[in-house]
Structure 1
Amino acid sequence: MPTFINHRFRVAMLGTLAGLLLVQSAHAGTLEAVNHTHWAINRFSVDGRSGIDIIGPYQGGGGGCCYSAPSRWQPGMTVRVDWETGAGSSEGFPGFGDWDNFLIWKKEIESQKRRHSKVVPIPDYTGQKTCGLTVHFLPCEELQVTTSCYAYGSPEYPIKTPQHLPEPQSCPK
C-alpha cells in the first residue's frame, strides 16, 4: 500500500477510534426540565448549555442540546444551573391598542422576573444508562437533577416529587 494511502487510512482509523471512545466515555442527551412552581421558567441553562424552551407553571419542557454525563459517576459531581423566573400568565394584558396601559402592564411583568443560579449535585448513576439531564425546578429556588432515561412519572423515575407543589408562605434562608 502506498505511504500516502496508508497514512490516510491510519488517520481515518484513529478518528473512528477516537469517536468510539468519546461515545463510550460520555452519553449525550438533551436538557429537559420539570417545573413544580407557579412561576414560568423563562430560560435555563446547565453548565452554559441552553435548555431552549420556556416552561410554564407546573409543566415540563426543554430540549436543549446537549448534556453528556461522564461514563463513571464520581462523588462530588455537580452542575451549575442558571435560570430566570417570571410571571406565569398574560393575565391583565391590555392589548397593543392601549399603548400606555400596555407599557404599565409590561413594566409590571418585567418587575417580576428574577435570575437565579445554583450548583447542584448529580446523583449517583453507577450501573445505569444515562440520557441527558432533567432539572426539576422546585419552590424556594430549590433544584433536583437526574440523568435517568425514564420519563417523569414512570415508576422507575427516581424523582417522585408531585408536579403541583404548593408555594410556601416563606422560604428558608
Structure 2
Amino acid sequence: MRCGAALALLCAVALSTACTPKKSERGSAPIEGYNHTSAAINWFTVNGNGGSNFGPHMGGGSQTCCISLPRQWHPGLTVLVEWEKDPKPHDYGSWPERRFSDEWNARVKRHRSSYTRHSAIVEVAPYEELGVLSVHFLPCDQVKVAASLTYRGMPNHPYNYPYKMEVPAVCPKP
C-alpha cells in the first residue's frame, strides 16, 4: 500500500510540474528618462516604445510602459534610442506676441524648425535583475542606458550624473 501511495504522489508531482509554464526569458521594464542637459526632450523612444517628455536638467518620476528585454543581461545587449530636443525651451516665455495670435503661431513654427532629432544604438549597462529602464540624456547628444532595480541617486546605479552637466569645449565623437 505504501508503494502505491508513493507512486501516486510521484505521478501527481510530475503532472503538476509538467503543466507549469516555463518562465519567459524576456521581461517587461518601464521606461524612465533623465535629462542632464539644458535642452528639453520633447519625446523619446527606446526600441520604438515611448518615453515621456521633460524639461532641462530634470527627469525621473515619470515612467511609461514598457520595453521587452532579456531577464538576464548579456554582453553586447543594445537598444535603439531616438529623441527630439528643443535647444531653447525657455524662449516661449519672452515672446512679445499675444499667445495663439497669428504672429505667435508663426513664431512657434519658426521655433519648432530649430528642434533636432537624434538616434543612437546604446549599450545597456550590466544588470543582475531586470528593473526600470533608465535613459540618461547627456551633453553632446550622448545617451546612457541602465535596466536594473536601481535608479538615479542610489549608490549602485551606474549613471549618477548631476542634472546640470557642463557641455565640454569639444564633444567626443560618437
Q: Please give the secondary structure, in 2, of the residue aligned with 1:140.
A: helix
How far did 1:148 drift?
2.0
Per the normalisation by structure 1, the TM-score is 0.78
The aligned amino acid for 2:21 is L
| Aligned residue pairs, count | 153
Tell which structure's C-alpha radius of gyration is larger.
2
Q: 1:17 aligns with which of 15, 18, 21?
A: 21
The residue identity in structure 1 corresponding to 2:58 is Q
In the other structure, the counterpart of 2:123 is 121
Structure 2 residue matching 1:131: 3-state secondary structure: coil
**TM-score of the superposition, structure 2-length normalised?**
0.77
**Alpha-carbon distance between aligned partners in 1 of 2:48 and 2:101, rounded to the nearest angstrom:** 39
- Residue ranges of structure 1 left out of the alignment (5+ in a row): 1-9
Report the Cα distance in structure 2 between the residues aligned to 1:151 and 1:103, rounded to whole angstroms. 39
Give the superposition deviation at 1:97: 5.9
- CA deviations over 1:7-33 (Å, ceiling 9, x no partner): xxx9xx96x615xx22xx223221101
Deviations 1:115-157 (A, max 9, x none): 00000111222xx222131100001110100012222112222
Q: Over the residues paired in the alignment, what is the CA RMSD in angstroms?
A: 2.2
1: CA distance, partners of 2:71 / 2:112: 42
| Residue equivalent to 1:88 | 89
SS at match of 1:17: coil
Q: Determine the structure 2 residue equivalent to 1:56.
A: 55
Aligned structure 1 segments of 4 or more residues deviating by more than 3 angstroms: none
Unaligned runs of 5+ in 2: 1-14
- Partner SS, residue 91 of structure 1: helix
Residue 75 of structure 1 is matched in structure 2 by: 75
Find out whether 1:99 has 2:126 as its counterpart: no
Which deviates further from its counterpart, 83-92 or 37-46?
83-92
Structure 2 CA distance for partners of 1:28 and 1:120, relative to 1, 3 Å:
same
Could you say which residue in structure 1 is the equivalent of 2:41? Answer: 41
Amino acid across the alignment from 1:107? K
Give 1:98 shift: 4.2
